[in-house]
Structure formats: C-alpha cells, structure tokens
C-alpha cells in the first residue's frame, strides 16, 4: 500500500458489555446484556457469552431471555462508556490526529503519515490493540486497508480480538466472496431486495450495471457499484457535521387511541426541542418514526424552508405526518421524532458525500 492511503478501522468488541465485565469481575465469562429486562425493554449490547445463544443488540429483552434464560441484565452507564471512549481516543492521538469517530466504540484512523513514523499500518494496529488491552483491560478488533470500506469489512472479519489486512492485490477477490449482508450499509431490508434480484455476494453485485443499481436503489446504488469494485474515495475526516438530532420512546403498552398517540407525540416533541436547543442544532426536515406492535416500522418526513427549532413549529408538523400513518388496526409500540438537514449540508457538499451520510447515519441519534 505504498502509494495508497493506510486506513485502520478500530472496533471495540462488545464494548458496553465488556466494560461492565471489566468493572465487575463477577460478570466475567457470563452471558450479560446491557439494558433492561422489563417486558418493554431492549438489549443495548450483549457479551459474546450471550451472543452464543443468539442474543443481539436491539433485540426485545423478553426474546433475549427466552434464548438465554441465564442472561444477566445490567443497566447502562453512558457516562462511563464515554469516559472509556475518551481514553481510547487518547491512545489513537499518539499515532495520528486524522481520526473519524463512528460511535463511542469505533473509529477510522488515517495513518498514511503517522506521528511515530511506523512504516506498516498493521504494526500500528497491533500496537493500538496491545495498548488498549494493557492499559484499559479491553479487547479491540482492527481492520487495515487502503480505503474505509475495506478497513471496516476487515475489522469485522475475525472478531473478537481480530486483526485483518486487505491488500490491494487481494481486494477484488475478497469483495467477490463477501456475502451481500456483510456489505457496509446493507441492512436487512436492502439485503432482502438484493436477494430478490439474485444478488447474494460481491461477485454477483459486481455483475450489476450502474444503471440497474441506481434504478432499484436510487443514488446509493452508485455506492454499492463502487463497493463491489473495492472502490471508496471518501477520506478520513477528523471533523464531521452532525446530520440529525432525534429522540424516541418505547411505550409501556401498545396504543391505537388517537388521543393517547397525540399525548406521546407532544412529550417527544418537547424533548426534541430541548435537545435542539442544548446542541444549538438547526435543521428543516422533520421525520416521524413509528414502530408497530409486530416490530415493523415506517417513517414519514417533511422538509420546509424554515428551521424547525420550536414546539410551535414542530408539533403541528408532527401531527400532520401522523395523519399519514394508519394505526387503527396496527398498535404502536414506539414513536420517534428527529430534525435533520442542517443548513450547511446544502453548501459546498458534494452529492457523493450526502448520499453516503444518508446511508450511514440515518437515525444515528435514535436508540430503541
């Protein structure tokens, strides 16, 4: 990779759960879930011992307990996780300042030119993994390649405690063998559509024309087209523009009565306004998210010229979006609202970047 970028993707293994096991030795080796065990609870993170039973993040707690009767639920400690993340980033900064966080537990590092003049990116990744283990008593996986897409895929390849390098001469073959579900940005819905089109892996995706992919997937089709060819031109960006702010609530019981839905909508809109004011965020697109009792979900959005910053603006628009949702025979389990499309997003931002941001960060502030 002498003439190419040297990109590392670091991903902490079962981060929240691992922090809890580290801080409470009695939990080591046991199946644990960060979250709440109540009937309406959702798993925020699961230890690898729990994952052996099929327990996964975002899974309803009731299902998780059925899969793993011995599962131990631990309330989350976000303040602790943020502090540990800060300590991890201190280690990163000893090697490079070109760091792009994706969340508290993962980030891209561009080490093409690094502070320690280490020639091989894999040696930097090994050092970082070792230091995280020695100094923080936590385990990370690392992927190394010449672009972000491949580095991300590589970090997932040999988890936990993984280390994988995808060299330029290996990239096309590696991507060809990759199941379509493993492509970054391909979720369950997109994977299902890919399968219906006969696309099951990178090789079959590469055989699709750009016209066909954009016809079926819109503008993000061009991203899938590039990924199938191991192409990703996005740089590691140390400063990232926040794309949205949102909040949501899982209801204590499913509801269908309009008056009850409106009351919940009011509370969520009030909380959203408070978050917007705390962060000084300004955007002009409001999105309503509804998850039904069967866990199917829909979204409805509206963009206007005026910034959405007050309850007087947001609540009437949220009610209008709600009118587009038929919940008379589909009880509602969860309601969420978000404001997106900050003003500077429309200025000096290329279409390719906007497409990727939409793919990667949609509803990133929402946690079930």
Predicted model pTM: 0.76
Radius of gyration of the chain (CA): 22
Closest to 366 measured CA to CA, from 267, 278, 266, 246: 246
Residue 9, class by beta-carbon neighbours within 10 Å (0-12 exposed, 13-18 middle, 19+ buried)?
buried
Backbone angles phi, psi at 44, to 5 degrees: -85, -35
Can you give the pLDDT at residue 343?
Answer: 54
Annotated active-site positions, please?
106
Can you give the pLDDT at residue 364?
Answer: 32
Can you give the pLDDT at residue 74?
Answer: 96
Handedness of CA 166, 171, 173, 175 (dihedral sign): positive
| Cβ–Cβ under 8 Å, residues 339 and 246 | yes
Can you give the pLDDT at residue 132?
Answer: 98
Backbone angles phi, psi at 238, to 5 degrees: -70, -25
Distance CA 53, CA 129 (A): 27
20-29, 227-236, 278-287: least confident range? 278-287
User: What percent of the chain is helix, strand and coil (3-state, nearest 5)?
Assistant: 45, 20, 35
Q: Which CATH number fits domain 1-166: 3.30.70.100, 3.30.70.270, 3.40.50.1240, 3.40.50.20?
A: 3.30.70.270
> Which tens digit of pLDDT belongs to each residue from 11-69?
999 999 999 999 999 999 999 999 988 877 889 999 999 999 999 988 999 999 999 99
Better-predicted residue by pLDDT, 21 or 357: 21
Can you give the pLDDT at residue 262?
Answer: 94
Q: Which residues pair with 57 in a beta bridge?
A: none
User: Which token pair is 362?
Assistant: 């949609």
Q: Is 1-166's fold the same as 171-227's?
A: no
Q: Does domain 244-344+352-361 have CATH number 1.20.210.10?
A: no
User: Which token pair is 135?
Assistant: 């100094």
Q: What is the CATH number assigned to the segment(s) 171-227?
A: 1.10.150.20
| Cβ–Cβ under 8 Å, residues 256 and 341 | no
> Which tens digit of pLDDT belongs to each residue from 125-163?
999 999 999 999 999 999 999 999 999 999 999 899 999
> Which tens digit of pLDDT belongs to each residue from 205-227?
999 999 999 999 998 999 999 99
Full 3-state SS string of 78-126 = HHHHHHHHHHHHHHHHCCCCCEEEEECCEEEEECCCCCCCCCCHHHHHH
Check pLDDT > 50 for residue 123.
yes
Three-state DSSP at 169 gives helix
Contacts of 30 (CB under 8 A, 6+ apart): 21, 47, 49, 70, 72
How large a percentage of the chain has pLDDT more than 90? 77
Can you give the pLDDT at residue 37?
Answer: 86
Q: What angle do CA 92, 109, 49 make, to 5 degrees?
A: 75
> Which tens digit of pLDDT belongs to each residue from 87-116?
999 999 999 999 999 999 999 999 999 999
């Amino acid at each position: 990779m002498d003439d190419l970028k040297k990109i590392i993707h670091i991903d902490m293994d079962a981060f929240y759960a691992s922090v809890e096991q580290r801080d409470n030795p009695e939990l080591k080796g046991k199946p644990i879930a960060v979250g709440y065990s109540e009937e309406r609870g959702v798993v925020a993170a699961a230890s690898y011992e729990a994952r052996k039973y099929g327990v996964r993040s975002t899974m309803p707690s009731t299902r998780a307990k059925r899969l793993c009767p011995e599962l131990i639920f631990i309330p989350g400690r976000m303040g602790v996780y943020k502090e540990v993340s800060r300590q991890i980033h201190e280690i990163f900064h000893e090697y490079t300042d070109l760091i792009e966080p994706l969340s508290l537990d993962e980030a891209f590092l561009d080490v093409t030119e690094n502070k320690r003049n280490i020639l091989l990116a894999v040696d930097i990744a090994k050092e970082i993994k070792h230091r995280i283990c020695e100094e923080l008593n936590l385990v990370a996986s690392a992927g190394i390649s010449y672009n972000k897409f491949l580095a991300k895929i590589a970090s997932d390849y040999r988890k936990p405690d993984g280390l994988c390098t995808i060299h330029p001469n290996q990239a096309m073959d590696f991507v060809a063998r990759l199941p379509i579900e493993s492509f970054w940005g391909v979720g369950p819905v997109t994977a299902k559509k890919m399968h219906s089109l006969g696309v099951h892996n990178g090789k079959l995706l590469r055989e699709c024309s750009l016209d066909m992919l954009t016809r079926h997937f819109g503008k993000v089709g061009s991203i899938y087209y590039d990924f199938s060819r191991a192409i990703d031109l996005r740089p590691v960006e140390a400063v990232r523009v926040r794309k949205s702010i949102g909040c949501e609530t899982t209801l204590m019981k499913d509801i269908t009565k309009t008056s009850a839905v409106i009351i919940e909508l009011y509370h969520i809109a009030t909380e959203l306004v408070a978050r917007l004011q705390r962060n000084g965020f300004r955007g002009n697109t409001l999105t309503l998210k509804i998850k039904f009792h069967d866990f199917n979900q829909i979204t409805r959005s509206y963009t206007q010229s005026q910034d959405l910053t007050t309850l007087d603006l947001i609540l009437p628009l949220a009610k209008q979006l709600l009118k587009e949702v038929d919940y008379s025979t589909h009880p509602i389990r969860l309601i969420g609202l978000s404001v997106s499309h900050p003003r500077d997003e429309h200025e000096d931002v290329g279409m390719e970047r906007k497409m990727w941001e939409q793919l990667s960060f949609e509803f990133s502030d929402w946690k079930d």
